[in-house]
Amino acid sequence: MLGQRFVSFIRPLTRAYAPKWPRPKPGTAERPPYRAPDPLINNPSATVTPLLDEDLTFIHRPPPTAPSPISYTTNPISPLLKPFSQTSSALPPLLRPSAEKSTPQRLTAEQIAEIRRLRALDPVKWTRGRLAKKFECTQQFVALVAATKKSTRAKLIQRRDEEHAANRAKWSEKRSLVAAISQKRRQYW
Phi, psi at 21, each rounded to 5°: -110, 150
How confident is the model at residue 105, as a pLDDT? 83
> Has residue 188 got a pLDDT over 70?
yes
Local confidence band at 74 (pLDDT 50, 70, 90 cut-offs): low
* CA–CA distance, 182 with 175 (Å, rounded to integer): 11
Which residues, in sequence order, are CB contacts of 39 under 8 Å at separation 6+?
61
* Rounded-to-integer distance, Cα 129 and Cα 135, Å: 10
User: Can you give the pLDDT at residue 93?
Assistant: 76
Cα gap 117→111, rounded to integer Å: 10
Residue extents of the structural domains in the chain: 109-187
Which residues lie closer than 8 Å to 50 by C-beta, 6 or more apart?
56, 57, 58
Question: Lowest-confidence range among 37-46, 80-89, 97-106?
Answer: 80-89
Would you say residue 53 has pLDDT above 60? yes
Handedness of CA 63, 69, 71, 72 (dihedral sign): positive
Check: CB of residue 113 under 8 Å from CB of residue 135.
no
pLDDT band at 140 (very low <50, low <70, confident <90, very high): very high
Quick: pLDDT tens for 101-111: 777 789 999 99
- Tens-digit pLDDT profile for residues 87-132: 555 777 778 877 777 777 899 999 999 999 999 999 889 999 999 9
